[in-house]
Chain A
Amino acid sequence: MTQDAYNFAYLDEETKRMVRRAILKALAVPGYQVPFASREMPMPYGWGTGGVQVSAAVMTPEDRFKVIDQGADDTTNAVSIRKFFERTAGVATTTRTEEASVIQTRHRIPETPLREGQILVYQVPIPEPLRFLEPRESETRKMHALQEYGLMHVKLYEDISRHGHIATAYAYPVKVEGRYVMDPSPIPKFDNPKLGRSAAIQLFGAGREQRIYALPPFSAAESLDFEDHPFDPSKADHPCALCGSEDSYLDEVITDDAGGRIFVCSDTDYCETRQARGYRGKDAA
C-alpha cells in the first residue's frame, strides 16, 4: 500500500535528519525544549503534526506502530494517523501496547507498563508550561535558563486558594531530573507517576510551536506540589464497568438521557485485554 511518490514515512531524509538532531539534543538535555524547523504536514495543526514528525523521524520499516487518542485506538485522530503511516511508510500497525515499538499518543500514557526499546511519542499543543503565566517567550526562555520556577508554584497557589486543592487535573507540570520544568502534554495527572523512571524513550513533539523535548529512559520526573498539599494522582472513584479494573484511568460515559452513566477504562487496549483474560465488570456484555 506504500505510495511510491512519497519517501518512507512521508518526510524527506534531510528533514528527518534535522528532526533526529533535535531529538538527540532533547535526549541529551532532558526536559529542555529544542527548537526545530517544523514542516507543513498534510493535516491541520492540533491534530498531532509535531508527534507525526517525531514518529516519522524515528520510524524504521521493521517497526510496529500504535496510535492512541485519549486512550482509544479507534477515535478519529488515532485512525487517521495510523492510516497515514500505513500508506506512507507501510509499517505494521497494532493496537496492542506490548507489541508496539513506536506508540504515538494524544492525552494518555498506556496503562500497560512500557518496556525497554519502546518509544512513546506525545502530541503537544503548547510545550511551554509557563506560557499562561508569562506570555513573553524571551522571558520564559530566561526563566528556564536561570531556573526561575517560582511562578509555576504561583499557579498551584492560585488553584488551592480558589478551589481548596490543586485543581490542575491535566498537563500537570513536572520537574525533570531536578532541572527543567516540563509540560507533559495534556495527559491527566493520573499518568504523571508513569512519566518518571519509565523504561521507554519518551519524545514530545509540538508542531505549531516548533519544539521537541524528551524524557530519556529511567529519568526522574517529579510533579510539582506544596509540602502541605502534596501531589495527588486522582481518578474517578469507581471500578471499570467493563473489565472491573480498580486502578486504571476511567472515562465517564453517559448511557441514556435519564442520568445513567458508566465508568470505563480510557485505555481501550488495556480494557479489552483484561476482558479477554476473563475479567468482568458489572456492565460487561
Chain B
Amino acid sequence: MTETLTQTAPGRAAPPAPAAPLLSVRDLGKSYGAHIGCAGVGFDLYPGEVMGIVGESGSGKSTLLSCLAGQLAPDRGEVVFDTREDGPRDILTMSEPERRMLSRTDWAFVHQHARDGLRMGVSAGGNVGERLMAVGARHYGEIRATAADWLGRVEIDTTRIDDRPGTFSGGMQQRLQIARNLVTGPRLVFMDEPTGGLDVSVQARLLDLLRGLVRDLGLSVVIVTHDLAVVRLLADRLMVMKLGHVVEQGLTDQVLDDPQHAYTQLLVSSVLQV
C-alpha cells in the first residue's frame, strides 16, 4: 500500500528503489526520574508513509513525539533524519540552530490545540506567512499570494485573510494551523491529536482534508492519537503504546483487524459502535 501511494503521488519523483528511510529511530528512551516516559522505541519511516501511534493517556505517545521532533531531549537512542543537504543525520547530535532550521523548513508540528501552534495576535495571512518570512521571503505581494493560496487549500474563505484566528471556529483554527505548517513544503509532519476537541462532523472534514493533503504532497507523517478511527483513515502503519513501551506494530489494517497483544485487543474492542 505504501509503495502504490508514493508512486501515485503527483509532483514527486518516484523514490529510488529501495528507498532510504526518511526517519529512522533506534532504541529511543526518555525517563522522568524513576518514571518511564518511553523506552526502547525503534522504527523506520519511509518517504510518503503515514505512521500512527495510538495508546491510552499517559502511555508515552506525546513524550515520544516531542523526542522525535527535537523538542525534548531523550536519555538514549538515536533519531536519524534524512536531511536534504547532508543525508542521514542524528538530530540529537545536531546543533540547536540546525535543529531549529529543520523545524522551520523540512518539519512541521501540528499541535492538538490550535492556540499552541498559532499566533493569536496575528492575522491568518501573517500566521501562514511567518514561516515563509522566517526562511527569508521578503516580497509582501508574493507572501500574501502564497498565504491566500494556502487558505484556499485548507478551505478557509480567502476574504478572512486579515482576520485574527481568535475570530475563527475551532475547526478553522486547526485548518489554519495546518496551512501555516505546510506552507514551506515540509517533508515530515508531526501531528499531536490533530482532531482532538473537535466535534465529529468537523473531525470528519478535517480528516478528509488531511488525507487529501498527505496524498497530494506525498508527506511523511507521524500522527499521535487515541482515536482509532483517525489512524484507520490516515495511517499506513500503526504502533500501539502502553506504559512507555511499544506493545505491537504493523500495518494499520492488520493490527486493527487482527490484534495480537491483549492491550491492543482491549483497545479495539473498546471502540463504541453506533
Given A146-B100, A161-B123; A153-B138 close (CB under 8 Å): yes
Is A150 an interface position by the 8 A CB rule? yes
Is B244 an interface position by the 8 A CB rule? no
Q: Is the interface of B mostly helix, strand, loop or mixed?
A: helix
Closest to A134 in B: B119
User: Which residues of A are found within 8 Å of B97, using beta-carbon distances?
Assistant: 146
Is B161 an interface position by the 8 A CB rule? yes
Closest to A162 in B: B162
User: Which residues of A are found within 8 Å of B84, using beta-carbon distances?
Assistant: none
A160 to B143, CA, bound (A): 12
Given A161-B126, A226-B139; A148-B119 close (CB under 8 Å): no
A161 to B127, CA, bound (A): 12
* B135–A150 CB distance below 8 A: yes
Please, what's the 1-or-0 string for B115-150, where 1 marks a CB less than 8 Å from any CB in chain A? Answer: 000010111011001110111101111011000000
* B100–A148 CB distance below 8 A: yes
User: Which residues of A are found within 8 Å of B119, using beta-carbon distances?
Assistant: 133, 154
* B-side interface residues, number (CB < 8 Å): 24
User: Which residues of B are found within 8 Å of A162, using beta-carbon distances?
Assistant: 123, 162
Within 8 A of B (CB), among A218-249: 226-229
* B139–A157 CB distance below 8 A: no
* A228–B140 CB distance below 8 A: yes
A153 to B132, CA, bound (A): 10
* B138–A161 CB distance below 8 A: no
A151 to B162, CA, bound (A): 17
* A226–B140 CB distance below 8 A: yes
User: Which residues of B are found within 8 Å of A137, using beta-carbon distances?
Assistant: none
Interface residues on A, range: 10 to 19
Is B96 an interface position by the 8 A CB rule? yes
A157 to B123, CA, bound (A): 9
A228 to B145, CA, bound (A): 13
A215 to chain B, nearest CB (A): 23
* A157–B125 CB distance below 8 A: yes
A153 to B119, CA, bound (A): 14
Within 8 A of A (CB), among B126-180: 126, 129-131, 133-136, 138-141, 143-144, 161-162
B54 to chain A, nearest CB (A): 32
User: Which residues of A are found within 8 Å of B96, using beta-carbon distances?
Assistant: 146
User: Which residues of B are found within 8 Å of A228, using beta-carbon distances?
Assistant: 139-141
* B134–A158 CB distance below 8 A: no
Please, what's the 1-or-0 string for A140-176, where 1 marks a CB less than 8 Å from any CB in chain B? Answer: 0000001010110110011011100000000000000
Given A227-B138, A228-B140; A157-B133 close (CB under 8 Å): yes
A154 to B144, CA, bound (A): 11
User: Which residues of B are found within 8 Å of A158, using beta-carbon distances?
Assistant: 122-123, 126
* B133–A153 CB distance below 8 A: yes
* A161–B144 CB distance below 8 A: yes
User: Which residues of A are found within 8 Å of B140, using beta-carbon distances?
Assistant: 157, 160, 226-229
B216 to chain A, nearest CB (A): 26
A172 to B138, CA, bound (A): 17
User: Which residues of A are found within 8 Å of B139, using beta-carbon distances?
Assistant: 226-228
Can you list 11 residue pairs at the A/B interface with Cβ under 8 Å?
A: A133-B119, A146-B100, A148-B100, A154-B122, A157-B125, A157-B126, A157-B143, A157-B144, A226-B140, A227-B140, A229-B140
Report B's interface with A, CB cutoff 8 A. 96-97, 100, 119, 121-123, 125-126, 129-131, 133-136, 138-141, 143-144, 161-162
Report A's interface with B, CB cutoff 8 A. 133, 146, 148, 150-151, 153-154, 157-158, 160-162, 226-229
**With contacts A161-B162, A227-B139 known, what are 6 further pairs, Cβ within 8 A?**
A151-B130, A153-B138, A154-B133, A157-B133, A162-B123, A228-B141
